[in-house]
A = this chain, B = another copy of it.
Amino acid sequence: MSERIWTAGLIVIGDEILSGRTQDRNIAALAIWLEREGIRLAEVRIVPDDRARIVQAVRACQDAFDYLFTTGGIGPTHDDITVDAVAEALDVPVVVHPRAKEMLEAYYAARGTLVTEARLRMARVPQGAELIENRASGAPGIRCGNLFLLAGIPAVAAQMLEALAGTLEGGARMRSQTIGCWGAESEVADLLAACANDHPACTIGSYPFLKDGRGAANFVLRSTDEAALAACRADLEARLREAGKEPEAAGL
C-alpha cells in the first residue's frame, strides 16, 4: 500500500489530567473523529499548565504530523495559557481577533452582562489565526494553519470538531473488524502472528480480558483496503477453527 497516510498529533494541556482528578474524554473522541476524516491519530502528549512545557511540546510535534490539535487552556482564567504558549512556539505575537471580540460581546449582551477584561482574554489569538466557531460556547476554537486549539470541556471540544468536519484533507478511511474467541490469547499467539505476517496490508491487535470468569480475547483487524481486510478476516477465522476455536463474529 503506497497510499498517503494522513496523521495528527494531539497535545492535551491540563494539570487536572496529570493529577488524576479528571478522566480525559477528548483523546478517544478526537481519535474517532479523525478516523472518520481519514486521518490517523499518531501520538498524544499530555503536559501540565506550564508555558515552557507547552511551547516545547508544540515545537516537537508541529512538523512531525500533518495536523496538530491541542485541548484545554483556552478559557478566561489565569491558568489558561495555551494561546500565549502556542504564539510563542509559532514565534508570532498574541492579538485580539476582531470577530472573536464581536462574538463575545454579542454572547454576553444576550445574557445581560458585560465583556470584562477576563472575558476578552478569550478573544486573544496567535496572529494570523482563524476562528473555529461553534454552537456550544461564545468562545471560539482557534486555527493556526494546521494547528487547532480546542476547548478542554469535552462537550465544547466536540462542537468545535463538528464545525471542522469535512474541512481537512484526509486519506482513505481506516476500516476495522473485530473477531472474538474464548480462551487465553497465548493459545492462539502463533496463528495470530502467522496470519498478521501473511496479510501485510492489515494490522491485527489482540486484546485479552476476563469475561464471566473465563479468559477471552478480541482480535481487531484494521486496514484501509476493504478487500484485504475481508481476506485477512476469512483467513483468521479458518485458522481459529483449525485450532479448535470457534470465532465469534462480532467480538466478545
Contacts and interface: CB of A to CB of B under 8 A. Distances in A.
Interface of A: 12, 15-25, 27-32, 35, 40-49, 53, 75-79, 116-119, 121-122, 153, 174, 176, 185-187, 189-190, 192-193, 196-197, 203-209, 220, 222
B190 A117 contact: yes
Contacts of A119: 186, 189
A103 to B, nearest CB: 14
Given A24-B27, A44-B44, A78 B209 contact: no
A121 B76 CA distance: 51
Contacts of A117: 190
Contact of A19 (B41, B118, B153): B41
A174 to B, nearest CB: 8
A22 B25 CA distance: 11
Contacts of A122: 186
Nearest to A46: B44
A31 B24 contact: no
A10 to B, nearest CB: 8
B205 A79 contact: yes
A205 B15 contact: yes
Contacts of A78: 189, 192-193, 196-197, 204, 206
A76 B24 contact: no
A208 B154 CA distance: 12
Contacts of A208: 75, 153
A24 B24 contact: yes
B15 A20 contact: no
Given A186-B116, A190-B117, A220-B21, A79 B44 contact: no
B20 A32 contact: yes
13 contacts: A16-B205, A16-B207, A17-B27, A19-B32, A20-B29, A20-B41, A22-B28, A24-B27, A78-B189, A78-B197, A79-B196, A116-B190, A118-B190
B16 A220 contact: yes
